[in-house]
Amino acid sequence: MEFYRPMSCWTLLGLPVTADTRTIKRHYAKLLKQTRPDEDPQGFQRLREAYEQALAHKDWEQSQPLETDTGHGPAASEPVLSTLSPVQRAAVLLKELHVEQLDQRYQQAQEQDCAYEFELALLRHCVERPAQADAVLHWGFEHLRWMSAWQRLDLPEYLVLELQQQLYQQVQAPLAAALQARDETAFLQAYAQRSAHPWLLHLQHRQWFNHWLAQLLADSPYWSVTIFQTLCAGQGWRSAADNPCPEELWPRLLKRHKAPLYLARQQQLASEPPMTPEHRAARLLLAPLSFSQRRAWARHLGTRDWEACHKLAASLAADYPDIAAGMPAGNPYFWRDWEHAIDSWPMLLGVLLACLAGAVGQYSGQDASPWEIVGVTLVWSLCFCAAGEGLQRLWQPLSQRLLPWDERLSRRLPRRHVPYHGVLLIGDLLPALLLAGLLGAVLHPLATPVYLGVQLLVALARQRRIDPLSAWQRINPWPRRLLLGTGLILLVAAIATLKWFDERHTAGRYQGLQPWTERLCARMPAQVAECAAPATEAQWYPKEARP
């Protein structure tokens, strides 16, 4: 079966085989305007080689009648070959060439001083027709030492690189496809076929293959202990000074190899009492909790706990993509907004309403105006909010140290959920009771049930199921800050409005301080019209004299 015909130049030139020499030259000049050597040197080189090959083929066709006229003997053919160029002589040897004749024709090419042109034509054939070039490639690897340190240095670089890329792709495709399909057997079979590629034995390509395998295994979401052990045996990977595995990838591979033990350890920590930050981080990320339950547990975490969460989440994202994909929203950092969330708003809301109830209960029977009650409420709210915030900051370190015992005590509370799903006795109830008692003692007994009622309603509201993709905790920080700033602006505007209304109904410095008879009619006859009773608003509240 014929494997090569020197016609690939016609495809590159875009001309039929029947084109004459004049047409070839004119079309080549036209293509030169599109492929300039300063813009595309490799393309220009390919075009030039195709042009020379086409002209050589035409010269060879014109020399055929001379060969027929002079006979077929060796003595008659030698003068004809001597008149041909090396490209033409190589074209003659490649005419009607079969694989079985490669050794003989290459020896003739060496004798006729056209071995380079012969090898270049074979190389171009392998690059342009990879599906038909297996036999030629094996012959080239064996006799011409292609893809080794001993191949010809004057071969076109673009052809060598293109052939190398094709060979690399042949090795990569089955291995990458098997690993992506999580087919352990197919991967091992494809890896065993590496011996069918003799060029992989050379140092340059062996190093490339070794590095590519390590990178493929480190980046793949699928991990197989059998595949890793097979590659370690086949590539010589080991924990030693002369380890051929890339230095930056070996720790990652070892970490993934030990992943089952590490994951089992973290899951065990998640099920144990929260004695350390590692326990609490494992519970938040790996315990079988709903999103709402995770959010409730996150309210009891401190600075060291969040540091442990960062470390564990980074490890899960890098080495356990399957576990990370099963977390809320498919993200091991689903808790990131909770780290800096403002969780004291239930306390602030409860203090504000409790102060309002206490002010109403204390001043309602003393003919106090609503604006006076509002003013007292704001003053007391500021004081108790500061006290409550300080109490929380002091209480949190103590409650974290007592968290295991807090859970044990909280299990005895009459509730339907396990302790870390809701309120803890030491961490939540005691500070709430302490602040509620302080409000009742200072303001009014009515403030205590109001504050406790607000905290109870908030606790019940937090038991609802939260969607991880649309929850408030996943809002962008900038909109959240905008909403907080808007709320503060509205609060200031409300206080200013109340003050404005209060000033409209308040007597001035010199208004309404004395009875009207003393101010207007103390020394005037009673029959004077201005002294008639009752006094008008203008008489009782005259305009103040401005200094």
- Mean pLDDT value of segment 267-281: 85
Residues 6+ apart with CB under 8 A from 506: none
Residue 466: predicted pLDDT: 55
252-266 per-position pLDDT tens digit: 898 888 877 788 888
Most confident of 18-32, 108-122, 329-343, 395-409: 108-122
Q: State both tokens at 144.
A: 């011409």
More confident residue, 297 or 191: 191
* Least confident segment among 21-25, 391-395, 485-489, 542-546: 542-546
**CA-wise closest residue to 417 among 293, 301, 305:** 293
Cis check for the bond before 534: say yes or no (omega within 30 of 0): yes
Mean pLDDT on 107-121: 88
Residue 227: C-alpha distances to residues 117, 222, 232, 299 (Å): 45, 10, 9, 43
Closest CA to 227 of 191, 201, 176, 173: 191
Q: Which residues does residue 2 pair with via DSSP β-bridges, in sequence order?
A: 98
DSSP code at position 334: T
Beta bridge partner(s), residue 339? none
Give the integer Cα–Cα distance in Å for 312 and 305.
Answer: 11
pLDDT reported for residue 414: 61
Question: Of the spans 135-149, 264-278, 341-355, which averages the highest pLDDT?
Answer: 135-149
What pLDDT is attached to residue 217?
A: 92
For residue 417, the model assigns a pLDDT of: 42
Count of helices and strands (H, E) across the chain: 26, 2
3-state secondary structure of 417: coil
- Looking at the predicted structure, is the pLDDT value of residue 510 above 60? no
CB 381 within 8 A of CB 352: yes
Q: What are phi and psi of 98, to 5 degrees?
A: -115, 165
Contact 420/407 with Cβ under 8 angstroms? yes
Q: Whole-angstrom Cα distance, residue 478 to residue 476?
A: 6
Q: What is the reported pLDDT for 434?
A: 83
Q: Is the pLDDT of residue 477 over 60?
A: no
Please tell me what DSSP assigns to residue 441: H
What span, in angstroms and rounded, lies between the C-alpha atoms of 58 and 81?
Answer: 15
What φ, ψ does residue 239 adopt, rounded to 5°? -85, 80
Residue 384: exposure state from Cβ atoms within 10 A (0-12, 13-18, ≥19): buried
Which residue, 254, 306, 258, is CA-closest to 278?
306
pLDDT for 244: 92
339-374, pLDDT tens digit by residue?
776 667 778 888 888 888 888 887 776 666 677 777
Task: Taking residues 291-304, report their average pLDDT.
Answer: 79
Q: pLDDT band for 53, please (50, 70, 90 cuts).
A: confident
Phi-psi region of 265 (alpha: psi -120 to 50; beta: other; left: phi over 0): alpha
451-458 average pLDDT score: 81
**Given CA atoms 307, 310, 313, 318 in this order, what sign does their dihedral have?**
negative
Residue 313, pLDDT > 80, answer yes
Per DSSP (E only), the strands in 138-252 are: none
How many CB atoms are closer than 10 A to CB 312? 21
Residue 2 has phi, psi (to 5 degrees) of: -75, 130
> Looking at residue 2, what is its pLDDT?
43
| Opening angle at CA 396, ends 390 and 402, nearest 5 | 145
Q: For residue 389, what is the enclosing H or E element?
A: helix 370-401
What is the pLDDT averaged over residues 36-60?
Answer: 77
Mean pLDDT of the chain: 77
**Which of the 8 DSSP states describes residue 544?**
P
pTM over 0.75: no
CA atoms within 13 A on the CB side of 292: 12
Percentage of the chain lying above the pLDDT 70 cut: 72
98 has which bridge partners?
Answer: 2
- 247, with CB counted inside 10 A (0-12, 13-18, 19+), is exposed
